[in-house]
Structure 1
Amino acid sequence: MSGHVDNEILIDAPLELVWRMTNDVPSWPDLFDEYAEATVLEERDGTVYFRLALHPDADGKVWSWVSARTPDETTHTVRSHRVETGVFKYMSIFWEYLPADAGVRMRWVQDFEMKPGLPVDDATMTARMNGNTRRQLELIKGKVEAAARDRSAVR
């Protein structure tokens, strides 16, 4: 079995701004509420290798992993995968940015499979990730739209 999460949101902002803000990995702790740290480890051949760390659990445990992210500004798509897979057999992520009448339709697709023997299976993680992804997309929307309003107020 495997998990598949596919969510999108309409962001009322210029494509260039949405693209720049969501592909600035070091700023992700300000863009997402789940990340405590985002550290770029290396940039090679158009791919950014980085470590993400979540905020500590109630027991103080900090979950972190290394991912590779390859943005393609020509097609306004991003392909990413976890290099350190942790609880996943694999985790692949696809971002798509489509111009729309009222801004940019940003789509976030995650495909994964959990390692066997864990207390969380693919279906449970799919439900958990669907809820979290939707919440993160709403946060991103609010922050990017606020930045777009600030930019237009300056002009």
Structure 2
Amino acid sequence: MAARTENTVLVQAPMDLVWRMTNDVASWPELFSEYAAAEILEQGENRVRFRLTTHPDEAGRTWSWVSERHSDPASRTVRAERVETGPFEYMRIHWDYTEVDGGVRLRWVQDFAMKPAAPVDDAGMAERINRNTPVQQRRIKEIVERAAKGEG
């Protein structure tokens, strides 16, 4: 069994700014509230391999994994996959950016399956992702929109 989530946010800012800020993985600890660190391991043209580390959770545990992102500036899409899968059998993420109404619709689709020994099943992880992703997207929207207005 596998799961899929899809979450969207409209960012009222120019495409180039939204693209640049959200694809600057090194700045993700400022952009996302859940990440304490983002370490760039390898980088090439339109490709980055990186390690993310979370802030401690309510039990004091931090989580860390390696992912790789491939961006396509022409189509304004990004594909990512966890290299170190942790509790996931696999985790694939697709971001697409669409210009609409003077802003950018940013859509994240996550396809994944949990390992049998994971502390949560596919449905439970989908519920967590669908609860957290809108929080992160609202934060990104606010930060990018402030930058677009020259306030940050």
TM-score bracket relative to the smaller structure: over 0.9
The match for 1:19 is 19
Deviates more, 1:42-51 or 1:93-102: 42-51
What's the % identity of the aligned pairs?
56
C-alpha distance in 2, partners of 1:119/1:57?
14
Paired residues of 1:40 and 1:50 also in contact (CA < 8 A): yes
C-alpha distance in 1, partners of 2:119/2:78?
31
Total equivalences in the alignment: 151
Amino acid at match of 1:31: L
Where do 1:1-155 residues align within 5 Å? 1-44=1-44, 46-150=46-150
Deviations 1:63-121 (A, max 9, x none): 10000001110000000000000000000000000000230000011000000023310
Deviates more, 1:5-14 or 1:39-48: 39-48
Question: What residue ranges of structure 2 are gaps of 5+ in the alignment?
Answer: none
Question: What residue ranges of structure 1 are gaps of 5+ in the alignment?
Answer: none
TM-score of the pair, normalised by structure 2: 0.95
TM-score of the pair, normalised by structure 1: 0.94
SS of 2:61's partner is coil
Spell out structure 1 runs of 4+ moving beyond 6 A: none
